[in-house]
Structure 1
Amino acid sequence: MANLAAVIPAAKAPLEVQEVETYKPGPHELLIKNEVIAYSPIEYKIAKLAFFPIQYPAILGGSFGGTVEAVGPQVTNFKVGDKVAAAKSGKSVGNQYGSYQRYVVLSDETASKVPEGIDLALPVSFTANLSTVVGIFTARAGLEKPSFDGSVSTKGKKVLVYGGSSNVGTLSVQYVAQAGYSVVTTSSPSNNAFVSKLGAVKVLDHTQEQGALIKALIAEGPYDLVVDSIALPNTTPITGAVVAAQGGGKLYALLPAFGPETLPEGVTREFASWGSVLDEEKNLGLRTWAFTEYLPQGFASGKLIPQTIEKVAGGLKGVNDALDKLEKGVSGVKLVSNPWE
């Protein structure tokens, strides 16, 4: 059972397809025959910009899905043959956990069974950001969890999610709305129709002049929580101004500051490695809930809406093409590929 992987041999080098070992799962681990690789923008930054220090050669990639090939000791909830959507655990260190290969080892706590009849690529498109979204909104900001059982009680609180068509924004808008909060978000006109289906009470055009956009966002407030799912130097002045107009407070950001920044007086950037927040003692159980209940129930009920899936051809040889596309910028779509092509 040979295993092939797209390996990055050195910092900023093109990825090369190589034969690598086929691994054995350890305790609480699964071996997955990988059938869908889903790409996230952070991956091109690691591959092309050496955004984070890593050990080379490396097998990158954090979200994928396929069929359980083998189960390790102490695994109780999965069996050989199960279809799963998965994300690399932040605690998993080693090339066996990277998704740019045909066989991947996975922690059972970040595996989600895929309901029968569901295209595997759809739940996989959410797995990379699932822990992040739960970490921001429920673990750290204290919002209640969504529920698909019956009607959701209205909380009487309003949340701004800046960037509703981004990977994180798409899931964030739905997660918060499904929990009973009123959501305001932003989108370009080209993605407005899609974002409007996600549950927001208002979708504002982020391509308008900055001053007009800030004014429009403030007019929809005040907000009990402001989250910038883009958090780049061109968006934090906008979201920071909204928080400042409310008298200051926390601006929850997907990313850390890219350098020295000047936020308005009284506004502080709230950033953490959001997925790892779920490892704090008070938040234990949230990740399990997200992968074993929220994601499968959302797709089984048809209440989770994914971005448009865009297939990148070429299998593992096409991974470089996918990273090139991410670097150029994609909007409103999720790039995926099949490592067996």
Structure 2
Amino acid sequence: MSEMHNTAAWLPAVGAKLELRPAPISEPGRDELLIQTEAVAVQPAEYKIQDGVLPFPLTYPTIIGLCFAGRVVKTGPGVTRFQIGDRVVTNSAGTLRNDARFGALQQYALSTQQLTAKIGDASFEKSATLASNLYGAISALLLHLKLDRPGSVPDSQNKSKKILIWGASSSFGAAAVQIAASAGYSVVGVASGSNAALVKSLGASEFVDRTDDSATEALIALGPYHAVLAAADSAKDQGTIGIVLAAQGVARFCLLWV
């Protein structure tokens, strides 16, 4: 690795600006990959971490960034799924690890084979973006809302459970619609009327135009909801969501905080 040089966007402290400067090239450990980054999906949560809005317990200076795509340049012991030269996308979980070696905002970053997938000839940029959206949607639906995972044979009882997804035509919301529908849930998608066909094609069984004057009444009539996800919403939208939640009683609710 002596012939290669690494540069990273270091975050020196909470509230500080990123500083572009050298970083060591890390040796991959067991089940780990060293990846030359080609595209990084920068998430809103990352500038909030930088500003201190999201108080992650990080050791500074650090390198943030989760989802990125690139080429495998070295593999650690136990790696069986990847070889040097593979084009891949990954979620390194660097911020959650509090480990700058896994931060995406550098030329050479570590990740694990468990959180990495081959992308073939697909675009690095599109792959990184997709990984970011899937990470957020799966985290919201499975970890926070406690929904079932998609499977080849979804639980038939899920069909009677309605999942309301606000902002269903956004990149985050579109991924959430597909995941929830694949797990057998009945999805009610909310977006602008021009995106009705798109949302229905993703697997939503019902659609409500968020700009319609009767949207609140329509959503209440379609309930009750097993879970509600606000994937993309304005301050006005949040008022409507609050009215729907109040009318329906208890429901699992998750707001996209990033």
Which TM-score bucket, shorter chain as reference?
A: 0.7 to 0.9
Per-residue CA distance 1:235-271 (angstroms, 9 max, x = gap): 5443232222123343233449xxxxxxxxxxxxxxx
Distance 1:235 1:35, change over 3 A: same
For 1:214, the equivalent position in structure 2 comes to 216
Give identity over the alignment, percent: 35
Checking the alignment, whether the CA contact within 8 Å between 1:231 and 1:255 is kept in structure 2 is: no
For 2:243, the equivalent position in structure 1 comes to 241
Aligned partner of residue 155 in structure 1, secondary structure: helix
Measure, in 1, the Cα distance between the counterparts of 2:183 and 2:70: 29
Measure, in 1, the Cα distance between the counterparts of 2:148 and 2:196: 27
For 1:39, the equivalent position in structure 2 comes to 42
1:163 maps onto 2:196 in alignment: no
Aligned AA (2:202): L
Aligned partner of residue 33 in structure 1, secondary structure: strand
1:65 maps onto 2:65 in alignment: no
Measure, in 2, the Cα distance between the counterparts of 1:39 and 1:191: 25
Aligned AA (1:85): V
Give unpaired runs (5+ residues) of structure 1.
257-341
Does 94-103 or 157-166 show the bigger shift?
157-166
Measure, in 2, the Cα distance between the counterparts of 1:41 and 1:10: 18
1:88 to 85, 92, 99: 92
Distance 1:196 1:31, change over 3 A: same
Aligned partner of residue 246 in structure 2, secondary structure: helix
Distance 1:47 1:181, change over 3 A: same
Shift of 1:134: 3.1
For 2:253, the equivalent position in structure 1 comes to 251
For 1:227, the equivalent position in structure 2 comes to 229
RMSD: 3.1
Distance 1:157 1:13, change over 3 A: same
For 1:179, the equivalent position in structure 2 comes to 183
Matches within 5 A, 1:3-18: 3-18=6-21
Checking the alignment, whether the CA contact within 8 Å between 1:159 and 1:226 is kept in structure 2 is: yes
2:60 to 56, 71, 89: 56
Measure, in 2, the Cα distance between the counterparts of 1:179 and 1:142: 12
Checking the alignment, whether the CA contact within 8 Å between 1:138 and 1:145 is kept in structure 2 is: yes
Measure, in 1, the Cα distance between the counterparts of 2:127 and 2:208: 27
Measure, in 2, the Cα distance between the counterparts of 1:233 and 1:26: 46
Checking the alignment, whether the CA contact within 8 Å between 2:11 and 2:61 is kept in structure 1 is: yes
For 2:32, the equivalent position in structure 1 comes to 29
Using the size of structure 2 for normalisation, the TM-score is 0.81
For 2:118, the equivalent position in structure 1 comes to 113
Measure, in 1, the Cα distance between the counterparts of 2:155 and 2:135: 22
Aligned AA (2:110): V
- Equivalenced residue count is 252
Distance 1:232 1:62, change over 3 A: farther
